[in-house]
Amino acid sequence: MLFLDKLSILAKKAEHENKAFFKNIRPGKANELDKIFHLKNTEVFSHTDCLECAHCCKTLGPRLSERDIRQLSKALNIKASKFEEQYLRIDEDGDYVFKTMPCPFLGSDNYCSVYKYRPKACSDYPHTHQPEILRKSKITIKNSFTCPAVYEIIEEVKKSWK
């Protein structure tokens, strides 16, 4: 169930507790934390319909690598330089990001029109299925403000953690 209207309030309310939760986990427990995160990630995404949400594609832009740019321009049958000119800008960190948000490839039905060729940052998001969650705790808490699934995963992990 999505609760985008309340997400920022809920995430803000949980932020302090979430920071304390991660802070209290010893590095030796990092693998155990990954296991619980991956389990809860599977459970939560089994009842989360990203097509009803698309909040990440509407509000967060991915960083695009040279490889992403090559892949997308090839898929769109245009030169990489043309793709950059049309869709990209360089942000304050020197990374390529989309000029406009919501993402120019997001349809009104929330489908990604370049799904097969989407940037790696898109396919990796929200990273809760990946290793080293403890090391990525800051970004995971940050993502709980954007992604309802991440908020829910953290809540479920806290309940299961002994």
**The only residue of 88, 122, 134, 141 in contact with ligand SF4, by rule CB under 6 A:** 122
Residue 40 within binding range of ligand SF4, rule CB under 6 A: no
> Rule CB under 6 A: which of 126-145 touch ligand SF4?
126
Report the C-alpha gap between 153 and 37 in whole angstroms.
7
| Minimum gap (Å) between residue 109 Cβ and ligand SF4 | 11
Binding test (CB under 6 A) with ligand SF4, winner from 69, 133, 147, 153: 147
Which DSSP state fits 96?
Answer: E
**Residue type at position 125:** Y
- Token pair recorded at residue 147: 């992604």
Name residue 64's beta-bridge partners: 96
Strands 96-98 and 88-90: antiparallel
Asked if 76 interacts with ligand SF4 (CB under 6 A), we say: no
Sole binder of ligand SF4 in the list 73, 148, 151, 157 (CB under 6 A): 148
